[in-house]
Amino acid sequence: MPRIQCPRCLRPHTHCLCSLIPSLDSRTRVLVLQHPSEVNHALNTARLAALGLNNAQLIVGEVFEDLPALLNLPGYQARLLFPADDAQPLQAYAEGDQPLLLVVPDGTWRKARKLLHLNPLLAALPRVTLAEGGVSRYRLRKAPGPGALSTVEAIAQALQVLEAPVSFEPLLKPFEALIAGQIEAMGQDTYQRNHGDQ
């Protein structure tokens, strides 16, 4: 029998994370472009990020027809959060800076690359990265990007850098509960064996 999902966070009703999802304001607008293969993944952290930010949007697809309109948003400068040799490390806004439209491809490394390949406008955007590469607290799966951050962690860290001293820590609340649930489900022993000492 299929488990009944919460329509908002897409978790099983018994493990709904909605009560932990914040409602945060940000100057930065976040646009997550999610590969369809991620939608029903147990660790759909991009969705948690999009739900927790008032100025964010998540679109699922492979080819995004509306990209010109989505990327040319008045008042924002579009940047792609994705590694490249010439990617600029993110830094805090200076006075008078236009806020970023931070475009975040979501999927495995391979799927994220595919999204760029299928959407030349996306691939052509100036790129930004997290200065430190970003450090994940968890290593449950291979995630794209330096430091193998989950998408919600990458977004929280990016906003933290851009909008310091505003804290985006609450964005990680449902993610932490999700991870705790995963660890519990797989058993602490297995977790230690697979993910300890890294």
Q: In the chain, at which residue ranges do the beta strands (DSSP E only) sit?
A: 29-34, 56-60, 77-81, 88-89, 100-106, 127-129
Q: Segment contacting Zn ion (CB under 5 A): 18-26, 38-46, 71-79, 84-92?
A: 18-26
CB atoms within 10 A of CB 137: 11
Integer Cα distance of 25 and 58 in angstroms: 16
Closer to Zn ion by CB, 48 or 112: give it. 48
Q: Segment contacting Zn ion (CB under 5 A): 6-14, 41-49, 69-77, 118-126?
A: 6-14
- Can you give the length of the chain in residues? 198
Q: Segment contacting Zn ion (CB under 5 A): 14-22, 108-116, 121-129, 180-188?
A: 14-22
Chosen residue from 5, 15, 16, 186 binding Zn ion by CB under 5 A: 16
Closer to Zn ion by CB, 18 or 84: give it. 18
How far are the Cα atoms of 36, 83, 136, 192 from residue 114, in angstroms, in the given order?
Answer: 12, 14, 24, 33
Chosen residue from 1, 3, 8, 46 binding Zn ion by CB under 5 A: 8
By CB under 5 A, name the binding residues for Zn ion: 6, 8-9, 16, 18
